[in-house]
Amino acid sequence: MSKSIKVLFLLLGVALLLLVIRETDIEKLWQHVTSVGFSGICLILIVYFFYFGSDVLSWQVVLIKSRLSFRWFLRLYAARMVGEAYNNITPTASLGGEPIKAWLMKANWGVPLRDSASSLVITKTASMLSLSIFGAIGIFLMLGEAVFTVTEKNAAIASVVFVIFSTIVFFLMQYFRFSSSITKKLGRFEFAKNLTSSFAAVEDIDDQFVSFYQRHYVLAFFSCLAAMCSWLFGVLEIYVILYLIGFPLSIQEVFIVESVVQLVRVVTFFIPAGLGTQEGAFLFTIGALTGLPALGVATALLRRFRDFIWIAGSLVLASFYSIKPWSSSINSVEDG
């Protein structure tokens, strides 16, 4: 059943993509995309390297078992590349690759699964919180643009409210140990007696959430700050793409574009890789700001091409890392 739903969402994304392309001047679209050139693609990848690195740093500061060293930064960078490759190709609200990240950390560097799992959830919370702030700023700027209709502005406000509400609920579920309360209720049933160890692991992770938010709020702040930097690098990336195409927008306008795109991505999490929805968001925002819908779709396709290169490189990188249980022959978490 779930597989059928995934296929249905994929088909929905393809249909949306075809609809977007149908509304685009293909000849102009091709001209925009090809005008960037090889050096332009390299520049886009360089910006994305720092975009991605900001998210890695957001994870590193909350993973207590790691050290704030460049060596650990590279380890986490590799694990996140592999995990995010799966996040981008699976319709699981950007969570499909999280177990892979945790397992890579355990298999290669001996980081306990519970520590990796809790740090990944905390990092996700920091990302959602920073996106709430980023999106709110972007929508505030959008309200001052006459090119967007009242209906479009209201829809944008609704999307940022959805993200803020989701962030609050996600945080409260951790802080008030929602998972532990569920496992305790399940533990009363006969069938759950064989799951005692699993329930204990869930309760331990919940303990880590509460402990972290109460004792390491400074680290939580820096994690949010690093996550915010990643959204700002996203703004820079779109600015660079439009500059390379030959139709630069102001920083304020690009900020609006990126905030709308990211909010749409979250709201339509069930569609694999935001297929069709991301292109539609670019067509809508850049088309409204420039009067050139093809320019928006070209920006989206160039970002897709960047994704393709990055995901391909990540999957190749995955082959260099162990998926077998960690052993003492590998550097432990106590190593530099």
User: Would 288 be classed as within a structural domain?
Assistant: yes
Res. 299 pLDDT band, cuts 50 70 90: very high
The pLDDT of residue 90: 63
Q: Is 20 helix (H, G, I), strand (E, B) or coil?
A: helix
User: Would 335 be classed as within a structural domain?
Assistant: no
Q: What is the pLDDT of residues 124-137, one digit of tens each?
A: 999 999 999 999 99
Res. 329 pLDDT band, cuts 50 70 90: very low
273: region left, alpha or beta (phi > 0 left; psi from -120 to 50 alpha): left
User: Would 333 be classed as within a structural domain?
Assistant: no
Q: Is 81 helix (H, G, I), strand (E, B) or coil?
A: helix
The four Cα atoms 285, 286, 290, 291 give a dihedral, to 10 degrees, of -70
pLDDT exceeds 70 at position 191: no
Q: Please tell me the least confidently modeled range out of 73-82, 144-153, 174-183, 244-253.
A: 174-183
The pLDDT of residue 67: 79
Q: What is the mean pLDDT of the chain?
A: 86
DSSP helix, strand, coil percent of the chain (3-state; round to 5): 80, 0, 20
User: Would 332 be classed as within a structural domain?
Assistant: no
Whole-model pTM over 0.85: yes
| CB environment 204-233: b (16+ within 10 A), e (fewer) | ebbebbeebeeebeebbebbbebbbbbbbb
Compute CA distances 181 → 166, 173, 195, 202, whole Å: 20, 10, 15, 10
Percent above pLDDT 70 for the chain: 85
Domain count, the chain: 1
Structure letter (DSSP) for residue 316: H
Res. 148 pLDDT band, cuts 50 70 90: very high
Q: What is the pLDDT of residues 36-59, one digit of tens each?
A: 999 999 999 999 999 999 999 999
End-to-end CA distance of the chain: 46
Helices 251-267/113-143 angle, 10° precision? 130
**CA nearest 55: which of 216, 178, 223, 272?**
223
Cβ-based neighbours of 211, under 8 Å, separated by 6 or more? none
**Are the beta carbons of 108 and 75 closer than 8 angstroms?**
yes
pLDDT exceeds 90 at position 18: no
User: Would 31 be classed as within a structural domain?
Assistant: yes
Which residue type sits at 115?
A: D
Compute CA distances 280 → 57, 137, 294, 299, whole Å: 31, 21, 11, 11
Q: How far is CA 298 from the centre of its chain?
A: 22
Mean pLDDT of 79-85: 91
The pLDDT of residue 41: 96
**Domain around 284:** 2-318
The pLDDT of residue 195: 53
The pLDDT of residue 121: 93
Res. 328 pLDDT band, cuts 50 70 90: very low
Q: Please tell me the least confidently modeled range out of 23-32, 105-114, 201-210, 275-284.
A: 201-210
The pLDDT of residue 319: 82
pLDDT exceeds 90 at position 210: no
Res. 78 pLDDT band, cuts 50 70 90: very high
**CA nearest 241: which of 299, 295, 287?**
299
The pLDDT of residue 2: 58
**CA nearest 218: which of 64, 113, 115?**
64
**CA nearest 55: which of 103, 101, 114?**
101
User: Would 26 be classed as within a structural domain?
Assistant: yes
User: Would 121 be classed as within a structural domain?
Assistant: yes
> Which range has highest mean pLDDT (110-119, 163-172, 205-214, 321-330)?
163-172
User: Would 152 be classed as within a structural domain?
Assistant: yes
The tokens for 22 are 């149908």
The pLDDT of residue 305: 94
**Residue 269 exposure: Cα atoms within 13 Å on the Cβ side:** 13
Mind spelling out the 3-state secondary structure of 263-291?
A: HHHHHCCCCHHHCCHHHHHHHHHHHHHHC
**CA nearest 21: which of 292, 302, 308, 294?**
294
pLDDT exceeds 90 at position 94: no
